[in-house]
Amino acid sequence: MRVHRESRAVDDGYRSALLPGLRASGDALALAEEIAFAHGRLLALGATPPGLYAEVRTLAEKDIEQATWTSFLIAYLSPRDGDDPFAGIRMVMDGASDGEAYEEGGLEDLDGIPVGPRTSHDPARGASTLLAYRHWAERAGDQAHAFEGDPAWSPQRRFERCFERLALPGFPRMGRYDLLVTLGRLGLYELRADSLHFTSANESSTPDLTTLAAKRVFAIGDHLNLERRAHALAEAISVPIEALDLALANWGSGARVTLGFPSETCDLGALERSREALEL
């Protein structure tokens, strides 16, 4: 199920220093609800993840390479909304590759594979982005070494460096961010977002929904100030900065993308803190 809202509520005189671009309490409340959903999802990823996420965590104990590859496919193809969100991802894992493990090098034909609403996949590219990812990992020795990087890095520094290095053809900000958040929350690697890593207009042929929504919410286009205002909002609500990634994108599109989680997922504490901080 997807939650749909009108893109703009009526100006009712609402004003908040945390959300300088909003003029309607309905818009602010909708954002608070998406923050509660996004943070509830993050908490569940770390505690009791559903479906293929749970399988990744179990698999990591015996095969970190296959678990990491599966996480990449989840982020790249995106879970679908509906009763079988991981169907397309399983088709790539189990069908076209004839069960080959990551190390055996099978690359699949992605034609006809069902993808989700946050997919990075462009059918015109075929499997080229998957191949680019494999080459990226091979340059470090394997995926684990690529994501671990320097052992002295903090989780935030590791996130930043991996995000930069994963700037592969056909793998824009949305997919890279999803992947690193997933790997960190599932406990495969010590990764924690340091910022939202907003994109500029010339970084991708497809506009980034999180960046577009942030510009509306924070009423500014400069990336440095966008990051500052996003951090101020996250701190005021006491949620990690990565919770705003999905929350802003969902708010901006007017439709809740669930990424394999129940649409009613909610951190009630975050919702209450949001209402208080935003004076709703």
Q: Which residue has the tokens 């090098």?
A: 105
Rounded-to-integer distance, Cα 121 and Cα 164, Å = 19
Rounded-to-integer distance, Cα 264 and Cα 34, Å = 11
pTM, to two decimals: 0.92
| CA angle (133 as vertex; 97, 179 as ends), nearest 5 | 95
Predicted pLDDT at 204 = 58
- Backbone φ and ψ for 187, nearest 5 degrees, come out as 85, 15
Predicted pLDDT at 8 = 65
What is the number of residues in the chain?
280
Predicted pLDDT at 113 = 87
Extract the residue ranges of the chain whose pLDDT is less than 70. Answer: 1-8, 95-109, 201-205
Give the DSSP H or E segment for 86: none
Predicted pLDDT at 1 = 43
Rounded-to-integer distance, Cα 197 and Cα 13, Å = 31
| Axis-axis angle for helices 209-218, 173-185 (nearest 10) | 90
Predicted pLDDT at 7 = 53
Bridge partners for 255 per DSSP: 4
Listing DSSP states for 168-228 in one string gives: -TT--HHHHHHHHHHHHHTTSS----SS-----GGG-SS--HHHHHHHHHHT---HHHHHH
Q: How many CB atoms lie within 10 A of CB 218?
A: 23
Tokens (6 digits) for 195: 């910022």
Tokens (6 digits) for 254: 């007017």
Residue boundaries of the structural domains of the chain: 25-46+195-277, 48-185
| Axis-axis angle for helices 223-237, 268-277 (nearest 10) | 110
Alpha-carbon distance values, 260 to 79, 156, 280 (Å): 6, 26, 29
Predicted pLDDT at 126 = 87
Structural contact between residues 115 and 259, judged by C-beta atoms closer than 8 angstroms: no
Task: Please name the amino acid found at residue 272.
Answer: E
